[in-house]
C-alpha cells in the first residue's frame, strides 16, 4: 500500500485495524454462507 510504510501506525492502531478488518470479513463471510444456505433450502423446497 502506498504511504503505509512512510506513516507508521502505533501497534494499538494496527491491532485495532486488523481486528476491524477481520470482523468485517467474518460478517461478509457469514452473510455469504447464510445466502447460500437459504438458496439451498429454497431449491430443495421447490424440487
The pLDDT assigned to 12 comes to 85
**Contacts of 9 by beta carbon, 8 Å cutoff, 6+ apart:** 17
CB 9 within 8 A of CB 17: yes
The overall pTM is greater than 0.85: no
9-46 in b/e form (b: 16+ CB < 10 A) is eeeeeeeeeeeeeeeeeeeeeeeeeeeeeeeeeeeeee
**pLDDT in the model for residue 28:** 97
pLDDT tens, N- to C-terminus, the chain (47 residues): 455 555 666 888 899 999 999 999 999 999 999 999 999 999 999 76
In a domain, 5, yes or no: no
The residue segments making up the domain with residue 37 are: 12-47
Residue 34 lies in a domain: yes
Q: What is the rounded distance in angstroms from the CA atom of residue 39 to the CA atom of residue 30?
A: 14
Number of domains in the chain: 1
Amino acid at each position: 500500500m502506498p504511504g503505509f510504510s512512510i506513516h507508521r501506525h502505533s501497534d494499538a492502531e494496527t491491532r485495532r485495524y486488523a481486528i476491524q478488518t477481520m470482523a468485517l470479513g467474518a460478517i461478509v463471510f457469514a452473510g455469504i454462507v447464510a445466502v447460500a444456505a437459504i438458496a439451498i433450502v429454497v431449491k430443495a423446497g421447490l424440487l
